[in-house]
């Protein structure tokens, strides 16, 4: 197991006069036309090549893609809960309370799973958390579809939310282990920031589109399937 307790700091860079130039844009003092050309070359050159170089590392592209699939349910499940409950006769107050139950369970119990991963490692803990989250989500969908009410809807969501691993942190831990001391780590974390944004852009559209176009359970079920595929691939990378 790798220890990821180190702190990543941006190295200070100084010019020949000892002035901190980390925040200075390299085109600030150039004429307008020249500044535009230099800016374009910067955008299309070093950063894009650094992104490509880190993604070409052995296994990097695989666990980034798997982490993206496994993260989509973060933005799909809460909305899918609301859509399912309201479509099966519940009101928005109940739907919101159940969605909040899922989110609060992840916030309150999730750190225990993270601590467990720190102690035992991703390979041992991810499969157990995955089984708990999938079981909770499937139990909730079945209960909601059979017009179950009250606590029996909340209990599976507590299990699902409490078992949800912080996938973004797991992916960043992989990057930190792979690129320890490598300048490419900054590009890797930038990629992860982009993936996070994509999750919250694509996930809600999927949840709403599937639930409206097919059937109310489609959104949560699709989130469960994506979770299973993404996290299985992400965990399998630890063994092969």
> Three-class SS of residue 20?
strand
Task: Compute the average pLDDT of residues 203-224.
Answer: 91
Q: Check: CB of residue 211 under 8 Å from CB of residue 80.
A: yes
> Closest Cα to residue 119, out of 239, 238, 2, 237?
2
Q: Check: CB of residue 224 under 8 Å from CB of residue 200.
A: no
Does residue 14 carry a pLDDT above 60?
no
Does residue 240 carry a pLDDT above 70?
no
Q: How many CA atoms lie within 13 A of 132 on its CB side?
A: 20
- pLDDT tens figures, 164-185: 888 888 888 888 888 887 788 8
* 122 phi, psi to nearest 5 deg: -65, -40
Q: What is the pTM of this model?
A: 0.73
- Residue 24 banded pLDDT, cuts 50, 70, 90: very low
- Residue 234 banded pLDDT, cuts 50, 70, 90: confident
First-to-final CA distance of the chain:
16
- Residue 71 banded pLDDT, cuts 50, 70, 90: very high
Task: Compute the average pLDDT of residues 87-104.
Answer: 90
Taking the CB of residue 168, how many other CB atoms lie within 10 A of it? 17
So what's the pLDDT on residue 166? 86
Interacting residues of 96 by C-beta distance below 8 A, sequence separation 6+? 82
Q: Where are the alpha helices (DSSP H) in 184-217?
A: 184-213
Q: Check: CB of residue 69 under 8 Å from CB of residue 235.
A: no
d(CA 86, CA 80): 10
DSSP-derived secondary structure letter, 146: T
d(CA 79, CA 208): 8
Does residue 100 carry a pLDDT above 80?
yes
């Amino acid at each position: 197991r790798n220890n990821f307790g180190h702190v990543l700091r941006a190295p200070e860079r100084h010019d020949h006069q000892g002035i901190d130039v980390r925040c200075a844009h390299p085109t600030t003092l150039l004429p307008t036309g020249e500044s535009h050309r230099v800016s374009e070359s910067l955008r299309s050159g070093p950063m894009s090549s650094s992104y490509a170089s880190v993604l070409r590392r052995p296994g990097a592209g695989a666990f980034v893609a798997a982490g993206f699939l496994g993260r989509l349910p973060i933005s799909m499940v809460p909305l899918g809960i609301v859509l399912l409950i309201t479509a099966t006769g519940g009101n928005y107050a109940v739907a919101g309370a159940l969605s909040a139950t899922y989110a609060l369970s992840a916030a309150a119990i999730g750190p225990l799973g993270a601590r467990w991963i720190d102690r035992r490692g991703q390979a041992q803990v991810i499969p157990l958390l995955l089984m708990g989250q999938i079981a909770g989500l499937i139990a909730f969908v079945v209960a909601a579809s059979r017009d179950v009410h009250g606590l029996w809807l909340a209990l599976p969501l507590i299990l699902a939310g409490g078992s949800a691993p912080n996938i973004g942190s797991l992916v960043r831990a992989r990057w930190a282990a792979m690129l320890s001391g490598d300048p490419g780590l900054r590009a890797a974390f930038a990629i992860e920031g982009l993936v996070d944004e994509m999750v919250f852009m694509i996930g809600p559209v999927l949840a709403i589109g599937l639930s409206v176009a097919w059937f109310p359970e489609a959104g949560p079920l699709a989130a469960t399937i994506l979770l299973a595929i993404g996290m299985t691939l992400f965990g399998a990378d630890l063994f092969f």
